[in-house]
Structure 1
């Protein structure tokens, strides 16, 4: 591991111009490429105290052995050179968004005498018009098959076309009227070109004119009693409608746009993009990439757009790109993309209307992509075993922690303090073992004291419920020996806090870890290891240690701890929101005459939330046991006089400082 001071450039030697820089390792391999408006300001930031750098940035600068840079004239040139180098050197510390497959296009070879429609992948060629990209080749072929009966253009290869010319007979598509058979002279080049132009116009979104024209022809044939022609036109109309159903209109203005959304966690980022052409979704792509630094959302968007459109022709760049956050250098990106397209390209964050709705849809898809990615990793037995073994080695445990318990604390501005306990066994969630805690002895936002109380209560129950069950252990157990299972003597089932965990994980850093360890020490429990996962840098803290354990970002052990911590956080927030809703109802109903604690609880139990009680009629409320018609009218009057509560509902996770707002 190199000391960055050994290769730090001398003061004043770094220019202040725009440029691109490269970090190399001891073997000369490029490990990171970046660009900057001011090279001196950017590179100086890498050579500060390592404790002030993000963990991944610190790893990069200590892996490097030298740095070099290239000065350019403009930021647009820096943008282009940066990605050219990323493609050339494939640096391991740069985020790579591209997935491992190309996406299919619908292509029309308009430069040929008899243009052909086909499905293709890879680089685009001159003289060919492209539609898409699409997510599945089979979906394009199905659409084309529907359209060929209306637009019978050539779809065969050059070899098939030439052979049909030689033998004087069309292929099967010519016989079933899905090709106008220019190979045997049924139509000339000009007539075939007209069919091709109509097909391209239809695929470009100009659909209403064709539908009206065919419908008019169908009615005319019917009036002339040419029912066979009318039936054929009716079938053509149905084929067009079926093709359009697969390309639902999402933007009424018929715009061309790419809609991008990202869902990130500290280690990975899920990318989702919808390609909208002519107001219709023509394709959708999504994948998960590893994060290599703590870049903001706007920076991640910028890097993604660089990689998405690099090497694209003008036809591949839309007029508008909708993103969740504007890149820092949005104007530079717009200039670069406009040069590629040959006309103005806008990058913006949608604020309202159909585009905002579509952006939210893409964001949901990105979130589902991330969830599916995590689920697939969690469901693999080999991966789970590897995670537990890695965790054992990293923390120096005597055995793999088959049972993991994680604790989290949440409160509402120092009130309604709650704790959560989630359990993973063999790397999978054991939801029947989850527990909730209401912390009443802690005042204010003292999550350290709350963590101490929760750990104390959980393990005191472990000690209180311990009973000897020699028959389950396969032999006699002497009094005082540790390890007997906890079972209910009446039912024979494991009690609520039946098993001691192989590892206790707390959501937080050294203060929370120290509080948990102190609680165990006070109870005399010395065989349960404790660690904490700090969210900002994903550091693992152990009791009494000054420095954290840094797990590799690709470690399955770190991924397991993340899932455990996130689940504890989710469980705590869910509990907290339920209690907050009930406390709000109780506070609003305090002044209703004749409504005591028992009736309030019955009312909450029946409806579940303040919103549902407000929506209920007097007759519905009167059906709650113990509440008559007069009391129900008083409840409705009390809630009506209070009006809707417009205060923002804010939950604070004091271990992380995260604020969760409900609308």
Structure 2
């Protein structure tokens, strides 16, 4: 159709010394000579090496003009030929077969990829009886905490059945102090959609057509990590804000594995071997991973910050510099004075204080009798 593969063989002294294939898109349908001509122009406009002879599969319309152009670039005569017999003709035929093979293999690969992405979205759409297209935007949310410590929320986005990581968002919970996942989820959803509504109003006031950040674009489907309780939280937030978006829950079994979807107060069973089920599982796992990753980073920063606060000479500026320069508390613990002095904000006295501080922590306790 509108895509093509061109195979190039590089031949020196009658021997094949290399080969490469190139993809072309938006090509003229059913006009292989025109595709080949466009390729020759593009390829040799971008390479410094010009061969003495180009063996082509088809006669091309601007052959004389291209010969003249290439000859001027090379500084000597260049020939464009379409071999009809002999070893050169066989080489061209082999290149054509290779191009055809690459294109057919890629079609199969694209077909499989489409099945696990856009096809999976269509399966979910059919299961929920929603008019979702293969390009539907789906958002999933999750909460992470340990006994209420550093509650965080995550928002992951999938479009065309694939993660759109540029639109992922993290939320540090502000209004909930204990381990209350429902309250945390209410805050996350309220902040997410209020932010989107505010951005939309700003666009309207400024009469701008483009999107203003990822929050402006609302999802076609919301996927909650859980069943009835999480779904009802989401529905109540949307109702309060006057937003109509379908919400379903990703229900897990006793072994914490996805088992189905909760939608319209009914748990819908889903074929565990289907692409739709596999996509739901990937989304649920991704939301969970993203929330845990954010939670760990906050815990790590808090731990490093609390330890560094005890060292003389380490104020807010040097603390930030240390955290920026070293990947972990353990790296700071192992650093020498010379390592620490690589930080522009550091002076020798404070570097010595840091080394001495961590050295004192390694000393065994003195036992008196």
> What aligned pairs does 1:457-606 form with structure 2 within 5 A after superposition?
457-467=191-201, 487-488=211-212, 495-526=213-244, 528-536=245-253, 538-542=259-263, 545=265, 547-606=266-325
Contact 1:486 1:498 in 2 (8 A): no
SS at match of 1:407: strand
- 1:381 matched residue in structure 2: 114
Instruction: Count residues with an aligned counterpart.
Output: 249
Counterpart secondary structure, 1:381: helix
Q: Does 1:399 align with 2:132?
A: yes
The verdict on how the C-alpha distance between 1:499 and 1:485 changes in structure 2, with shifts beyond 3 A counting, is farther
Secondary structure of the structure 2 residue equivalent to 1:549:
strand
Distance 1:445 1:627 in 2: 40
Which ranges in structure 2 are unaligned for 5 or more consecutive residues? 1-108, 364-369
Q: Which residues of 2 match residues 127-142 of structure 1 at below 5 A?
A: none
Measured in 2, the distance between the counterparts of 1:538 and 1:457 equals 29
Distance (whole Å) between structure 2 residues aligned to residue 594 and residue 438 of structure 1: 30
Q: How does 1:155-174 map to 2 (within 5 A)?
A: none
Tell whether the 8 Å contact from 1:466 to 1:485 is kept in structure 2 after alignment: no
SS at match of 1:538: strand
The 5-angstrom pairing of residues 226-265 of structure 1 reads none
Establish whether residue 437 from structure 1 lines up as the match of residue 171 from structure 2. yes
Q: Is the 8 A contact 2:144 2:152 kept in 1?
A: yes
Q: How does 1:331-410 map to 2 (within 5 A)?
A: 380-400=113-133, 402-410=136-144
- Does the 8 Å contact 2:116/2:279 carry over to 1? no
Q: Distance in 2 between matches of 1:420 and 1:377?
A: 30
Deviations 1:265-311 (A, max 9, x none): xxxxxxxxxxxxxxxxxxxxxxxxxxxxxxxxxxxxxxxxxxxxxxx
Structure 1 runs, 4 residues or longer, greater than 4 Å off: 376-379, 467-470
Deviations 1:223-278 (A, max 9, x none): xxxxxxxxxxxxxxxxxxxxxxxxxxxxxxxxxxxxxxxxxxxxxxxxxxxxxxxx
Equivalence map 1:286-301=2 (5 Å):
none
Q: Greater Rg, structure 1 or structure 2? A: 1
**Structure 2 residue 151 is the aligned partner of structure 1 residue 417:** yes
**How much does 1:459 deviate?**
0.9
Q: 2:355 corresponds to which residue?
A: 636
Does the Cα contact within 8 Å between 1:485 and 1:498 map onto a contact in 2?
no
Deviation at 1:622, TM superposition (A): 2.9
Matched position secondary structure for 2:117: helix
Name the CA shift for 1:549/1:385 in 2 (closer, same or farther; >3 Å).
Answer: same
Q: C-alpha distance in 2, partners of 1:516/1:377? A: 35
Q: What do the CA deviations read for 1:185-234 (whole angstroms, capped 9, x no partner)?
A: xxxxxxxxxxxxxxxxxxxxxxxxxxxxxxxxxxxxxxxxxxxxxxxxxx
Query: What is the CA-CA distance between 1:378 and the residue it aligns to?
Result: 10
Shift in Å, 1:415: 0.6
Residue 215 of structure 2: SS of its match in structure 1? Answer: coil
Q: What SS class does the counterpart of residue 440 from structure 1 fall into?
A: coil
Is the partner of 1:405 in helix, strand or coil? strand
The structural deviation recorded for 1:379 is: 5.8
Aligned-pair CA distance for 1:533: 0.8
Could you tell me whether the CA contact under 8 Å between 2:115 and 2:275 is conserved in 1?
no
Report deviation, 1:392.
1.4
Alignment deviations for residues 91-143 of structure 1 (CA, whole Å, 9 cap, x no partner) = xxxxxxxxxxxxxxxxxxxxxxxxxxxxxxxxxxxxxxxxxxxxxxxxxxxxx
CA distance 1:378–1:405, shift in 2 (3 Å):
farther
Please show how residues 139-154 of structure 1 align to structure 2 within 5 Å.
none
Distance 1:377 1:631, change over 3 A: farther
CA apart distance, 1:468:
7.8
Q: Which residue of 2 aligns with 1:618?
A: 337
Q: Tell me the C-alpha RMSD between the 2 structures.
A: 2.7
CA contact (8 A) 1:423 1:434 kept: yes
Contact 2:145 2:179 in 1 (8 A): yes
Q: What pairs with 1:103-142 in structure 2 (closer than 5 Å)?
A: none
Query: CA 1:638/1:521 → structure 2, altered by over 3 Å: closer, same or farther?
Result: farther
Distance 2:167 2:179 in 1: 27
Deviation at 1:539, TM superposition (A): 2.7
Contact 2:252 2:260 in 1 (8 A): yes
Question: Alpha carbons of 1:412 and 1:452: their partners in 2 closer, same or farther (altered >3 Å)?
Answer: same
How far residue 608 of structure 1 moved from its aligned partner, in angstroms, is 2.3
User: Following the alignment from structure 1 to structure 2, what is the Cα–Cα distance between the partners of residues 556 and 388?
Assistant: 8
Contact 1:439 1:450 in 2 (8 A): yes
Change (3 A) 1:379 1:501: farther
Structure 1 residues 598 and 551: alpha-carbon distance in aligned structure 2, compared to 1, 3 A threshold: same
